[in-house]
Chain A
């Protein structure tokens, strides 16, 4: 394989995942939390594709496409929720949405 080994791609994927996780934990706007969630899903996809290349098994790419489908659906539902929240004049702040807590 030309270029860097699979390990380099995996390290990239790990850094991206950690960044996304930090974003989900730190930010308060549900929109940014959704974006950070997309980062984590894409990091997982990168790892899947890298492993598919390493073992010459296209099943990893099939898995990645299925993850993309799930991510797209989750974005649709998440954004629908956010729009509905904003219409009902609920504050768009994940720290303030604690009704189901405990």
Chain B
């Protein structure tokens, strides 16, 4: 019994470490690669490792939605635009002044240190234990109940946001054709 639970714990730790390394490595790769296509591929790997972490946190529907929507549709759009733009997408790598680059990195490191400090201070008491979850936690049934019950407004506003996005996308794509015809 103890051995089985220990084995389960070890497996979870192994998966977590692998997913965390993939997450951080691909995160750095997105920011550091020169070619936008490679950056986009690194982001896809990032989204995949995030989905694994969501599975470890018992959020199975969100993990599947992440892969289906984010990694499967949004990133395809990104790759389309990058392939369409081809060479035109290569701007100079970073800001010309080194001081600006250094200042930006320092700011982000300070921000990170601040957040990690707060987490470490709270980790002893507030974050040390997780509540017990029920059978249906993270299932589509539970999320559907919440979306159509407590969070109905969020649901309706999300659909409105999607509609605006779709209409905006069509307008941004169509305006140019009129411009080309006028020439």
Which chain A residues lie closer than 8 Å to B23 at the CB level?
12, 16
In the complex, how many angstroms separate the beta carbon of B137 from the nearest chain A beta carbon?
A: 6
Interface residues of B in 103-143 (CB under 8 A from A): 104-105, 107-109, 111-112, 115-116, 119-120, 122-123, 127-134, 137-138, 142-143
For chains A and B in complex, what number of residue pairs have CB atoms within 8 angstroms?
Answer: 255
Q: Which residues of B contact A22 (CB under 8 A)?
A: 31, 104-105, 108
Q: Output the nearest chain B residue to A3 by Cβ-Cβ distance.
A: B12
Q: Which residues of A contact B46 (CB under 8 A)?
A: 16, 39, 42
Q: A49: shortest Cβ distance to chain B, in Å?
A: 5
Please determine whether A19 and B85 come into contact, CB atoms closer than 8 angstroms. Answer: no
Closest to B127 in A: A7
- From B96, which residue of chain A is reached at the shortest CB distance? A95
Q: How far, in whole Å, are A74 and B127 apart by their CA atoms in the complex?
A: 32
Q: How large is the interface on A (under 10, 10 to 19, 20 to 34, 35 or more residues)?
A: 35 or more
Q: Looking at chain A's contact residues, is the secondary structure mostly helix, strand, loop, or mixed?
A: helix
* B contact set with A: CB distance below 8 Å: 8-9, 12-13, 15-16, 20, 23-24, 27-28, 30-31, 36, 39-40, 43, 46-47, 50, 53-54, 56-59, 61-62, 65-66, 69-70, 73-74, 77-78, 81-82, 84-85, 88-96, 101, 104-105, 107-109, 111-112, 115-116, 119-120, 122-123, 127-134, 137-138, 142-143, 146-147, 150-151, 154, 158, 161-162, 164-166, 168-169, 172-173, 175-176, 179
- Known pairs A5-B123, A12-B24 / 6 extra A-B pairs, C-beta < 8 Å: A1-B130, A6-B130, A15-B27, A36-B30, A54-B131, A82-B85
Sample (11) of A-B pairs whose CB atoms are under 8 Å apart: A4-B13, A5-B129, A6-B130, A28-B95, A32-B36, A38-B74, A65-B143, A69-B162, A72-B162, A73-B165, A79-B81
